[in-house]
């Protein structure tokens, strides 16, 4: 918990993991949020736990695609919002942010060391096969130039890892053709079963898209293993979804960084 100011009640934080690499990029705040003891929705978590206006954080209706979109004003939590479909969203406007919701799929957050651009990607196995990670980097390069890619920093958050993410032959074959597939898709114990490490595959997709090695990392536990994060594999249809977001701070709004987060 944290105290916002003298005389204000303590605020309960959801379990949160942060990336040391992303924390090193000035001007951005990010969080891979997990299970919330207060059982709040994304709007309340942003406003109450992180002091971030929900109207300024864009999200999409995720469909396990390769679609990446630039944030529009109506992608935030605003009256009459128009839900667009896609699985990656990016913004270059100060005082805005972007987020994704996951429960075993990989949340990938990106920021640039010099430019005011950040992105959030929802990458399950279908999204990885569809190239959603590479498409997001391509969109940023199309706006700012190919040289901008080398300044990106990224983190793959809590998601299903090779210890628990079992897939069949067809999915394994598709993932095996992705960057890093031969390294991170391994034969499982049962007949026709394979184990895939989703965050490692997401990192390999970032490197294939042009990010330098050393500028991207995986943080947090396997969601299937950890009760601190929602997992569809573990909880089935009863599971919730956790919000991961990154926000380009506008200090004129009086933003204060919450305390108490852990890294990795």
Q: Do the beta carbons of residue 48 and residue 56 sit within 8 Å?
A: no
pTM: 0.91
Asked, for residue 208, whether it belongs to a domain, the answer is yes
Asked, for residue 191, whether it belongs to a domain, the answer is no
Residue 31 has pLDDT above 90, yes or no: yes
The pLDDT tens digits of the residues spanning 216-241 come to 999 999 999 999 999 998 887 767 88
Residue 10 has pLDDT above 90, yes or no: no
| Range in 77-86, 112-121, 123-132 the model is least confident about | 77-86
Asked, for residue 46, whether it belongs to a domain, the answer is yes
Q: Residue 102 sits in which domain range?
A: 2-159+200-263
Asked, for residue 6, whether it belongs to a domain, the answer is yes
3-state SS of the chain: helix, strand, coil percent to 5? 30, 25, 45
Asked, for residue 181, whether it belongs to a domain, the answer is no
- Give the number of other CB atoms < 10 A from CB of residue 70: 17
Structure confidence at residue 12 (pLDDT)? 82
Asked, for residue 99, whether it belongs to a domain, the answer is yes
Separation in Å, CA 46 to CA 43, 52, 76, 93, 227: 5, 5, 12, 18, 22
Residue 260 has pLDDT above 50, yes or no: no
The pLDDT tens digits of the residues spanning 169-183 come to 999 999 999 999 999
Q: Do the beta carbons of residue 187 and residue 181 sit within 8 Å?
A: no
Asked, for residue 178, whether it belongs to a domain, the answer is no
The enclosing domain of 7 has a CATH number of 3.60.140.10
Q: Residue 210 burial by CB count (10 A; 0-12/13-18/19+): exposed, middle or buried? A: middle
Structure confidence at residue 211 (pLDDT)? 97
Confidence of residue 13 (pLDDT cuts 50, 70, 90): confident
Domain count within the chain: 1
């Amino acid at each position: 918990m944290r105290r916002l100011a003298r005389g204000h009640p303590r605020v309960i934080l959801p379990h949160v993991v942060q990336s040391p690499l992303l924390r090193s990029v000035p001007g951005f705040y990010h969080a891979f949020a997990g299970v919330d003891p207060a059982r709040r929705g994304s709007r309340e978590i942003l406003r109450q736990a992180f002091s971030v206006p929900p109207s300024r954080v864009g999200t999409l209706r995720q469909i396990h695609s390769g679609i990446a979109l630039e944030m529009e004003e109506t992608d935030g939590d605003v009256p009459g919002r128009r839900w667009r479909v896609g699985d990656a969203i990016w913004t270059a406007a100060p005082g805005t942010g972007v987020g994704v919701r996951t429960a075993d799929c990989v949340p990938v957050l990106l920021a640039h060391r010099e430019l005011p651009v950040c992105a959030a990607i929802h990458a399950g196995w279908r999204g990885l096969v569809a190239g959603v990670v590479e498409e997001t980097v391509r969109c940023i390069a199309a706006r700012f130039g190919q040289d901008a890619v080398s300044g990106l920093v990224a983190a793959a958050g809590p998601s299903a890892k090779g210890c628990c993410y079992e897939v069949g032959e067809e999915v394994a074959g598709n993932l095996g053709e992705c960057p890093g597939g031969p390294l991170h898709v391994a034969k499982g114990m049962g007949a026709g079963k394979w184990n895939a490490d989703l965050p490692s595959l997401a990192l390999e997709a970032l490197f294939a898209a042009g990010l330098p090695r050393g500028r991207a990392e995986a943080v947090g536990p396997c969601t299937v293993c950890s009760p601190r994060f929602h997992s569809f594999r573990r909880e089935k249809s009863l599971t919730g979804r956790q919000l991961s977001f990154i926000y380009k701070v506008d200090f004129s709004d009086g933003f204060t960084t919450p305390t108490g987060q852990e890294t990795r």
